[in-house]
Amino acid sequence: MLNFLQTGRQGFARRGQVQLRRSTVETPVFMPVGTIGAVKTIEPRDLERLDARIILGNTFHLMLRPGLEVVQHHGDLHQFMGWERSILTDSGGFQVFSLAKIRDIDDRGVEFRSPVDGAKIFLGPEESMHVQRVLDSDIAMAFDDCTPYPVSCQEAEKSMLRSMDWARRSKKAFQGSPSALFGIVQGGVYPQLRERSLAHLLEIGFDGYAIGGLSVGEPKDEMYEMLRFIVPKLPADRPRYLMGVGTPQDLVFGVACGVDMFDCVMPTRNARNGWLFTSAGTVKIRNAKYRTDTRALDENCACPCCARFSRAYLRHLYQINEPLYARLATLHNLEFYLGLMKRIRAAIENDTFHEICAEYEVVV
């Protein structure tokens, strides 16, 4: 199971440890996303070199490909992908949310057409918990109905109440598992719904609490206002997880509000698309100004990309669609994100986190 120990604090920002079955995770933490059993373009040894202690797997995609039978032949998802450290699996709720045009949702769950072969599939709380138990992740997520944006308060309330019913069913279906289970606070951009959602989850009781349904199209100032409101209300003795967010500034803002755990596809997806994060700002490597630029991508970075190759070479690899580019760029962006979280952890310990907030123009 999970044990959370808070080891430091500066303002609302928390420094802690999440002790899981397979690893101890230092928080605040960013979790690389390995949607279908792999963090795209890199392997577990790369993640170990980056000192990643926990990554994400995706319940929805893994149940479609390769399917549970293949994973079970290897024992579990860890053995299947050669990753011995911790994994958090999402419930599939957000992916079902994104299939709005090919799904039917009711209080039982969601029926949808597989985007792989068109087969009809049903996914509800019990099915999601079954998949996550087979995958044997260290942290599983309750099945939820992700509230869209924009949406009326009445529609958001209906969606939130459905999520709370599904949370109860998820908890019941997950009983007996040695892994941790997190509940997900929903309610859109309506503070009163978020409070009610949290009250329901506290009544049920979970090992950790996540904030879902943000970064789904709402203006950033609305997302930030909701984080200011709801994060401090989450239990202080449990991990707090902000799902699917976001930019480096978003991470700093979330930590300043009291968030412990983050995930997002941004560092890996942006890397493949030519958008690289550096200590001096973002670099869009496709730009012609880098054609003869012999400098390292980031002189303050020691990743394999920055230690050996020039911006001009990276641009060349990107222009010719060479797979090596995606690997190097991904390694760099993850080094930047995990390095930022390491800096944040040290700053909270040293009472200098306000300096990072000023660097990223974050005010809570």
Give the whole-angstrom CA distance, residue 276 versus residue 273.
Answer: 9
Give me the amino acid identity at 285: I
Helix 323-349 with 248-257: angle, nearest 10 deg: 30
Question: Which are the catalytic amino acids?
Answer: 90, 263
Give the whole-angstrom CA distance, residue 184 versus residue 305.
Answer: 37
The 3-class SS string of the chain reads CCEEEEEEEECCEEEEEEECCCCEEEECEEECECCCCCCCCCCHHHHHHCCCCEEEEEHHHHHHCCCHHHHHHHCCHHHHHCCCCEEEEECCHHHHHCCHHHEEEECCEEEEECCCCCCEEEECHHHHHHHHHHHCCCEEECCCCCCCCCCCHHHHHHHHHHHHHHHHHHHHHHCCCCCEEEEEECCCCCHHHHHHHHHHHHHHCCCEEEECCCCCCCCHHHHHHHHHHHHHHCCCCCCEEECCECCHHHHHHHHHHCCCEEECCHHHHHHHCCEEEECCEEEECCCHHHCCCCCECCCCCCCHHHHHCEHHHHHHHHHCCCHHHHHHHHHHHHHHHHHHHHHHHHHHHCCCHHHHHHHCCCCC
